[in-house]
Structure 1
Amino acid sequence: MLIDAHIHLDQYKEEDVPKLLEEAQFVIAVSTDLQSCEKTLTLSNLFTKVKAAYGFHPEQSLPSDHDKQALFNWIRLHAEDMVAIGEVGLPYYRKQAQVLDERPYIELLDQFIQLAKELHKPIVLHAVYEDALIACDLLERHAVTKAHFHWFKGSEEAIERMIHNGYFISITPDCVYEAEIQTLIKSYPLELMMVETDGPWPFEGPFENARTSPCMMAKTIDVIASLKGITVQEAGQKVTENTKLFYEI
């Protein structure tokens, strides 16, 4: 039984959640806005396997000042109910589709990093390619070291810097068919690695047309074990230990 280090559990049908949880030891359920945070809190109260993270997903329009303040106030109020701030980050994919002023997104991420430091919580980041370097700048500025870059993709420069700083990454099921992710697995230390699904995001290859669920992580572990030259049992045990230590669960 593996730990899904990043799943949007609130986006599944309510009736599907118990079955999904049967496939995992725990799940880190991330949130995308205040309404999502509230639903994630409800799920964590209903199921002991659900460990909640509260944040604002960057691949959407920015919240108003009022809504942002309401979110930050709510997170502070429920800090004891969460294991991390997340998911937060920068709008890399949104920038590919439209002209976007990134400065207010960077400012918002900076504020979330300060909030994570204030509350002594890890932070879950959506920051890929060149955005990873910006995230590193902000983390270093505030001396925040407990950072988890989920579904990370980026340059050798970013990888080296993240390893040096002890930041964690999590590997998704697309490692089965994506050479880019396989290369990342080879270069990143197993000691800084977790596994995730990012469900309900769909995958291709052997997962085509399948509902994303924690059981898919078994194939991720197979790939990690093969590329690291260790047994499946060793790989599964290590990423589970990593996740428990990082999230203190």
Structure 2
Amino acid sequence: MLIDSHCHLDMLDLSRHDNSLDNVIAAAGERDVSKMLCVCVDLNKFDHMYQAAKRFDNVWFSAGVHPLHIEESPFDRDELSRLAADPRVVALGETGLDYYYSTETVEQQQASFAGHLELAGELGLPVIVHTREAREDTIRLIREHGNTESSGVLHCFTESLEMAKAALDLGYMISFSGIISFRNAAELREVVKAVPLERMLVETDSPYLAPVPYRGKQNQPAYVAEVAACVAELKGISVEQVAEQTTANFHQLFKRTANH
């Protein structure tokens, strides 16, 4: 059994699936991807995301503001607290820092990230962290505002081994996407080899970043099977081992999922 630890079901172009999210979920099941976490990037769109997928009992949700969405969806502590009261909301995020696409909103990004970290600590929920070109500030803010008891995950990891180790030291997990299968990702594959399987998650980040051999197509949760296969090959272990351990890791981190 595999879990897609990070996807955006509400962003899929369903015209490619006979206009039915049921077909996406069924396709995942056929690849032994039995559960998935649908991740929020904009509080204004949370309800749309939730309504689209709430009828599937194998889908969980997060609530948060992506660093590139903070202008249209500012950090709102009260609204986040309200959404997090739902037992199917198992994490805050995705939040974090993105200096690659936006350096004009650095202060707002940092304030929003700190707010997510502090609230997550109070609620005992993990944080889903997006980080790009902001290694030092990401780790610094986690140290200053995070809670090692609830911790979180650096999702769709593309940064250095040094940063991965710093996050691991803070109790965080590292999640890898289909990027690890890309031809130009040799350095990232070395990070996969170095990160302990016991601290790792796998994800699609669908509809983005489809792995080889689907690169260039719309990504979907079923394709997390390719990510797991790539991890298995890099570590010289079976896909079954990767599936079993990353599933256990998922339930360990996202504690609200453990009973479902």
Give your verdict on TM over 0.5.
yes
The structure richer in helix per residue is 1
TM-score in terms of structure 1 length: 0.88
Cα distance in 1 for partners of 2:90, 2:211 equals 30
Cα distance in 2 for partners of 1:94, 1:128 equals 9
- Aligned pairs, how many? 241
Cα distance in 2 for partners of 1:26, 1:60 equals 27
SS at match of 2:91: strand
Greater mean deviation of Cα atoms: 171-180 or 36-45 = 36-45
User: Any idea what the Cα deviations from partners look like across 1:211-232, whole Å, max 9, x if unmatched?
Assistant: 2112212221122112212112
1:198 aligns with one of 205, 208, 217: 205
Letter in 2 for 1:3: I
State the partner residue of 1:214.
Answer: 221
Cα distance in 2 for partners of 1:204, 1:222 equals 11
User: Any idea what the Cα deviations from partners look like across 1:183-218, whole Å, max 9, x if unmatched?
Assistant: 110111111101101011143641134221122122
For the pair 1:158 / 2:167, whether they are aligned, the reply is no
For the pair 1:35 / 2:44, whether they are aligned, the reply is yes
Cα distance in 1 for partners of 2:111, 2:224 equals 34
State the partner residue of 2:238.
Answer: 231
For the pair 1:74 / 2:79, whether they are aligned, the reply is yes
CA contact 2:210–2:220 (8 Å) conserved in 1: no
State the partner residue of 2:178.
Answer: 173
State the partner residue of 1:57.
Answer: 66
2:112 aligns with one of 100, 108, 112: 108
Cα distance in 1 for partners of 2:146, 2:215 equals 41
TM-score in terms of structure 2 length: 0.85
RMSD of aligned alpha carbons: 2.0
Structure 1 spans left out of the alignment, 5+ residues? none
Structure number with higher relative contact order (C-alpha < 8 Å, ≥ 6 residues apart): 2
Structure 1 residue 143: Cα displacement: 4.3
Structure 1 residue 125: Cα displacement: 0.4
Cα distance in 2 for partners of 1:167, 1:156 equals 14
For the pair 1:138 / 2:147, whether they are aligned, the reply is no
CA contact 2:157–2:177 (8 Å) conserved in 1: no
Cα distance in 1 for partners of 2:254, 2:206 equals 19
